[in-house]
Amino acid sequence: MTRADVADDVAYAAIQGDAPQTVLIRGGSAIVGPLGTVLAGPLFGEPGLVCAEIDLDDVTRAAFDFDVVGHYARPDIFTLSTDTTPRIA
């Protein structure tokens, strides 16, 4: 996305610059496997199709790396609280 792609009524100064050809968001399509390995891509600056062969057994292997009921589920370490006190912006 370039600065020229941003609507005229959106008024902000981009840190990258305000020239119409200035790239604000580079994009980049990629396929990442469940173990975090980049399988294909990234593809920048051109239209295209990113394809990869996947190993469905990696889903099972990744389950051993992501411990959803182990140390993340310890209420003595992790808590979630919400402060609903009204505040001035």
Q: Give residue-wise pLDDT tens across range 63-79.
A: 887 766 766 677 787 78
Per-residue pLDDT of 38-53, as tens digits, reads 999 999 878 889 999 9
Give this prediction's pTM. 0.53
Report which of 11, 6, 41 is spatially closest to residue 24, judged by C-alpha positions: 6
Tell me if 54 sits within 8 A of 40, measured CB to CB.
no
Q: Determine how β-strand 38-43 pairs with β-strand 29-32.
A: antiparallel
pLDDT at 37 over 70: yes
User: CA-CA distance, 89 to 85, in Å (whole number)?
Assistant: 12
